[in-house]
Structure 1
Amino acid sequence: MQLKTHLSPQTIVQEFSPNFVLFMLAIMFAAIFISSFCIGRYDISILQVIKIFASKFLSIQQDWPNAMETVIFKVRMPRILGASLVGAALAMAGTAYQGMFKNPLVSPDILGASSGAGLGAALAISLSLGVYGIQLMSFILGFAAVMLAYVISLKVPRDRTLALVLTGILVGTLFSSGTSLLKYLADPYDKLPTITFWLMGSLSTTSFNDVMVAFFPILIGSIILYIFRWRINVMSLSEDEARSLGVETGKLRLIAIISSTLMTSASVSISGLVGWVGLLVPHLARMLIGPDFHTLLPASGIIGAAYLVLVDNIARSSSSVEIPLGVLTSIIGAPFFLLLLSRQKGGWK
């Protein structure tokens, strides 16, 4: 195989097999994941990181302080795992939404999942329910927002897909208004700063328990999406063509929405509102690996995980005060998304 001097995303799709691209993406993510343990105010070299991890499985004489292990396993590991999990979940949910609605501008926010989760978290903070209360309320209301949008869309007799998108936008606006009302009524010295910081997105307080709380819903949702991957491929056709191939479009759309919302709500419950991942990453993955959900879904997950880990590294190391994660994803995502669109000559498929 001869390498070309310039590889555009379209060239990569044509030049390499999807499985090879997936393998290279996995290596890239592994390198980012390991090197992220070196980033922070406490200096740790990559060699020390590898030795500390290896010492858990091999007999290696300890020549590093105990504080170094504490930083790696108690501080940085939960945060890096959380960023990987949230990034992968939002990217795969965005991929599923774009595929189901055949719309490149659809993301996990479009049906109100993020707005509902934001309202749930703001309500839990206002009621002083604690960390687990915030996670539970954000999860419940995020899921409720999407189900409300879906039920309302069933009342519209024509163009069910468009109806679902429009009702999702309306429900999202309603829930966002509720969040704004809670912020207006919140104690400006105690509750309001907490609500505002949470809504901007952050993984600064992420623990292993938080990761485990989100892991199982995200795992269940991603497995369901992968099981129905070939049917989602068929959904790229018209409704009539998909039905002629034996796909029950209504049931499949509901399954995909529930699975994607499960993943989105679980992610938002531990990270706050993190935008652009579910919109940007599916486009990049599609340009690198093609539109087949068999490889597109895992590719989106890997790229999403790597992307959010990188952004979180910037958030926690670029200044003396941590930058909110949602702010950074917007600053980075918007111009990068425009660049991707300008280079995508073949259109969206």
Structure 2
Amino acid sequence: MPSPSDVIEAAPLAAVASARSADTVRRRARRDRITVVALAAVVVLLALVAVGAGQLAVPIGRVVEILTHDAAALLGLDSGIPASWTRGEQAAVSLIRAPRALLAILVGAALAVSGAVLQALFRNPLVSPDVIGVSSAASFGGVLAIAVGAGGVALMSGAFVTGLLAALLVMLLGRLRTSSPVLTIVLGGIVVSAFFNALVSLVTYVADPYTTLPSITFWLMGSFVAATWDKVLLAAVPIAIGLIVVLALRWRINVLALGDDEALALGVRPARLRGILIIAVSLLTAATVAVCGVIGWVGLVIPHLVRLVIGPDHRVLLPASALLGGAYVLAVDTLARTVTTAELPVGILTAIIGAPVFVIVLVRRTREGRALA
């Protein structure tokens, strides 16, 4: 039993350790804030570069002037900026590139956050909307809407319903008692994805080869070529709702990642929280699929890269993933429309870039002994 003198001597040491711990927490919080602010600045800078890039190049300063003039005109104000730009430059910036850049940022943020949430939900870093079949199911809903000639709202509704159905099916398969729950989830996702891919192929096969089929084929590749302000508004509403719900629950996601028993002990209802998050992720995925088709690998790679920098705390991981995902998809889209005279589908480039990046990240984590941590 320690003597009173030992206790007295140990007290200052405990105080020093507590002070060091508090100082570490403050430094980490400061670092996280700097990281998020830096990512936000990168997104803004990339957006200005993307809006100015193209066959008709527009300097960044002029891009800022045009966007400021348009914003002032929308609010019924006089910007006071002399019109030093041509009509072609204003049309390229205001009507074509600005909505495209904003749509790419929204889609990238939605996909990255969806991947991060699903990985926490299933406690499996190999999960993403693509892997568990949500994207394939949403594609089926979208393809079916295109085949019957439905509009944008019907397309998004169909994508949402089928995407939600796929997520629920994978969750049910994940409840099977097996020796490897992680493998069960991945295999269940592969089965669900294969099933809905078969349905997509069936609709594609019976579609009119002269009118509907080309639209379906190009849409499935994933592209922002048809971006308009109407599509930005169509995607912004469900994406904003999904992001608000997820970000509001981000501290509960930390608790859920500990396990059901720990979550219950801390006052969190796992089943209810999972249901809310599944609906939010399905809404995010459906919105992205509806406006630009299938863009893969974003939800799988981006959360991994963010964890390497800031760690697994979802209070910071989710907003950082949203910003990095938006910057990534915007950069890839800019590359897709400027690297060649014929525009490349964004979904092809994200797969070409994302697959090797994910392999590198996975190998690195495996060497560190935490491939599934």
Q: TM-score, normalised by structure 1?
A: 0.88
Give the letter aligned to residue 273 of structure 1: V
Matches within 5 A, 1:90-109: 90-109=111-130
In structure 1, what is the Cα distance between the partners aligned to 2:44 and 2:149?
38
Does residue 228 (structure 1) correspond to residue 249 (structure 2)? The answer is yes
Report deviation, 1:179.
0.6
Match of 2:39 among 22, 25, 41: 25
Matches within 5 A, 1:158-237: 166-237=187-258
Match of 1:258 among 276, 279, 282: 279
Report deviation, 1:229.
1.3
- Structure with larger RCO (C-alpha < 8 A, sep 6+): 1
Give the letter aligned to residue 28 of structure 1: V
Give the letter aligned to residue 43 of structure 1: A
Structure 1: runs of 5+ lacking an equivalent: 1-12
- Work out whether residues 138 and 265 of structure 1, in 8 Å CA contact, stay in contact via their aligned partners in 2: yes
RMSD after superposition:
2.4
Structure 2: runs of 5+ lacking an equivalent: 1-26, 73-78
Does residue 311 (structure 1) correspond to residue 339 (structure 2)? The answer is no
Change in CA separation of 1:132 and 1:249 when aligned onto 2, cut-off 3 Å: closer
Which whole-Å deviations, capped at 9, do the CAs of 1:130-177 have from their partners, x for residues lacking one? Answer: 455434433332233334544x44984679965665544333221111
Runs of 4 or more above 6 Å deviation: 13-16, 157-161
In structure 2, what is the Cα distance between the partners aligned to 1:297 and 1:264?
16
Does residue 248 (structure 1) correspond to residue 262 (structure 2)? The answer is no
Q: Which moved more, 1:158-167 or 1:109-118?
A: 158-167
Look up the match of 1:295: 316
In structure 1, what is the Cα distance between the partners aligned to 2:169 and 2:257?
25
Give the letter aligned to residue 128 of structure 1: G
In structure 1, what is the Cα distance between the partners aligned to 2:122 and 2:341?
42
Q: Which moved more, 1:68-77 or 1:46-55?
A: 46-55
In structure 2, what is the Cα distance between the partners aligned to 1:220 and 1:159?
37
Give the letter aligned to residue 356 of structure 2: P
Does residue 274 (structure 1) correspond to residue 288 (structure 2)? The answer is no
Change in CA separation of 1:99 and 1:213 when aligned onto 2, cut-off 3 Å: same
Q: TM-score, normalised by structure 2?
A: 0.83
Change in CA separation of 1:15 and 1:301 when aligned onto 2, cut-off 3 Å: closer
Match of 1:50 among 44, 64, 87: 64
- Work out whether residues 32 and 310 of structure 1, in 8 Å CA contact, stay in contact via their aligned partners in 2: yes
- Identity of paired residues, percent? 40
In structure 1, what is the Cα distance between the partners aligned to 2:51 and 2:340?
17
Change in CA separation of 1:241 and 1:221 when aligned onto 2, cut-off 3 Å: same
In structure 2, what is the Cα distance between the partners aligned to 1:332 and 1:155?
33
Matches within 5 A, 1:58-77: 58-77=79-98
- Work out whether residues 101 and 161 of structure 1, in 8 Å CA contact, stay in contact via their aligned partners in 2: no
- Work out whether residues 154 and 160 of structure 1, in 8 Å CA contact, stay in contact via their aligned partners in 2: no
